[in-house]
Amino acid sequence: MEIQVGQSVLELEEGDITRQDTEAIVNAANTSLLGGGGVDGAIHRAGGPKILEECRQLGGCPTGEARITTGGNLQARYVIHTVGPVYRDGLHREPELLASCYRESLKLATAKGIKTVAFPSISTGAYGYPLAAAARIALQTVKAYLAEHPEIERVRFVLFGRAAYAAYETALKGL
């Protein structure tokens, strides 16, 4: 499924973030930036040791912020690493921190002249953010950014499995 936002396209796809042909892919990292499981593990496995080497130089990343490295052996030229909130009860700034991840990642893309970006569903794996709520925040935030930033031509959400895809599809229809 895809929608047009001003000059840009926002699309949903079921698949694997490491196999995307966008200029940048986004990693759901942790504050150390030194690798982990889930998307993070998959990206470092597929991209090779160069990415981790660059991450070491960055000295970590606070929750809600983003950093950028090259893509190593990936098809994508860049990896944008962002750190989602660990979900507790929704009353500990989780929504605003999650929105910040998407916004800060796209700001980095704009700053680097990157026109196409693929996101995974940040925080909805190990970090436990409820999928429906996370999908709504992700899509609202990206849509609002694209409406003001036509320089980003395409944002693709790459959802891992049917359930994640279905949650994002429902959220996108409800925007």
- The residues that are catalytic are 40
Q: How far apart are CA 22 and CA 162, in angstroms?
A: 22
Please give the DSSP secondary-structure letter assigned to residue 85. P
Q: Which of 158, 167, 171, 172 binds ligand ADP (CB under 6 A)?
A: 158
Nearest-angstrom CA–CA distance, 75 and 79: 10
Q: Which is nearer to ligand ADP, 49 or 130 (CB)?
A: 130
- Residue 72 lies near ligand ADP (rule: CB under 6 A): no
* 22 touches ligand ADP by CB under 6 A: no
Provide, rounded to whole angstroms, the least separation between the CB of residue 59 and ligand ADP.
20
Site for ligand ADP in 92-121 (CB under 6 A): 120-121
Residue 42 is a binding residue for ligand ADP (CB under 6 A): yes
| Residue 90 or 150 having the CB closest to ligand ADP | 90
Residue spans of alpha helices (H) in 59-123: 94-112
CA–CA dist 36, 8 (Å, integer) = 32
Q: Which of 67, 84, 74, 76 is nearest to 44 (CA)?
A: 74
Between 132 and 149, CB nearer to ligand ADP = 132
Q: Which amino acid is at 137?
A: I
